[in-house]
Structure 1
């Protein structure tokens, strides 16, 4: 009996071990990833000896500046539907945060909101940008409102797109997508770190869209590949342990923000409930709130035309309104 039990245990161990090795995925070198996912206008900024930040800087050099920051495990590719239109009139800078996209990690410190705020400040500083509007999606929104608190003198406007930061209620935590429940478990994180995550990535992306047909094989492959850049898995999974100096949103924390603020929120967001967007609106005085019916976590991708129109209206009407003389000239031309 004992020998039979031992044989079963050994067999299961071999099978599970073989399965783990079959599903294990090695890192993908940066040069290979850059050949696949860097664009013709991609640039890389060194920040210290071991870090290069991937970014795009497009549009008129003398235009008002808009800086775009992606969310958790994403990359600057999420902004493509906006960038190609905004770059006609604005200088647009989109960057990959450390440990995401094609950006390297800092070897001596874990990824976190404080680090991301500092990187945005260093990148814009090296580009000679003194004032700008900052837009952030999800975790990028969490970073953006923290930047507004740290450097209010540098911001012309603030745009929060399904921004994170509010603590989840017990019911919200129970209803979170399965991929985030797994990532929140330290044992599961350690097991999953080196495995093929494509299935979970697809599940997570489908939870991010109300219209799941927008999730393509190419999108899943891009997320999976960029997540396998050296150090990225550790950085992304480390963010789930709340390492770094992350603080939660509250009315008291957000009260000092006086920067003109636009809040865009998908009504069907499974990751950041619409109620959180309403909380940002209530906590940030004078903010503008837009709620999109039948839209999930990524309005910039799911309803690019509608969200872009709201962004443009905010920029031209609130942040960078045309001088009165220009408006009079425009009215006169319209009359002709």
Structure 2
């Protein structure tokens, strides 16, 4: 009798393991974006990153994440993601920056959760970034920004700093494209 009980328990355990594996396979194959979102959300919460939405008007809003405290002595760091990416891609970098630095990661129009009804060109991204900075109040006269951009975000950061030099104190370009955007 004990043999049958042990076999039944083993069968139940194996069935549970099989269901777990099939469920995991379903989520990995069909819902992989959920896993990535959960990973970024948990990492963001763990390192003190908070998500906000800045409403500009009825047709435009920016979603951004923020970490750290704004101070009079240090510039804010604004992180600009690349093409087909979003603000969460900066979390692995920003999590290691001390809270004494104010870090802002913004979703560009047409990316992530930012809503904007316009064409998506480098010029429009630069204009949208200026709108975000002005409406948020990131730049004060004595405290320009430090822009950090990767890939297409590096192009946007470079063009933004060329057009609005009073807004920028430093620029960090990570993997900028080797061709000119027109």
TM-score w.r.t. the length of structure 2 is 0.66
Question: 1:148 offset after TM fit, Å?
Answer: 1.1
| Equivalent in the alignment of 1:157 | 170
Question: 1:136 offset after TM fit, Å?
Answer: 0.5
Paired residue secondary structure (1:45):
strand
Question: 1:165 offset after TM fit, Å?
Answer: 5.3
| Equivalent in the alignment of 2:126 | 117
Q: Which runs of 5+ in 1 are unaligned?
A: 1-31, 168-245, 248-336
Over the aligned positions, Cα root-mean-square deviation in angstroms equals 2.1
Question: 1:57 offset after TM fit, Å?
Answer: 2.0
TM-score w.r.t. the length of structure 1 is 0.37
| Equivalent in the alignment of 1:144 | 157
Is the Cα–Cα contact under 8 Å of residues 56 and 94 in structure 1 kept in the other structure? yes
1:94 to 105, 125, 149: 105
Q: Which runs of 5+ in 2 are unaligned?
A: 1-33
Distance 2:154 2:76 in 1: 17
Question: 1:82 offset after TM fit, Å?
Answer: 1.5
Question: 1:87 offset after TM fit, Å?
Answer: 4.3
| Equivalent in the alignment of 1:135 | 148
Is the Cα–Cα contact under 8 Å of residues 62 and 106 in structure 2 kept in the other structure? yes
- Deviation readout 1:181-209 (Å, 9 max, x if unpaired): xxxxxxxxxxxxxxxxxxxxxxxxxxxxx
List 4+ stretches of structure 1 deviating above 3 A: 35-40
Greater share of strand: 2
Distance 1:67 1:143 in 2: 12
Question: 1:145 offset after TM fit, Å?
Answer: 0.7
Greater share of helix: 1
Distance 1:165 1:119 in 2: 23
Is the Cα–Cα contact under 8 Å of residues 54 and 136 in structure 2 kept in the other structure? no
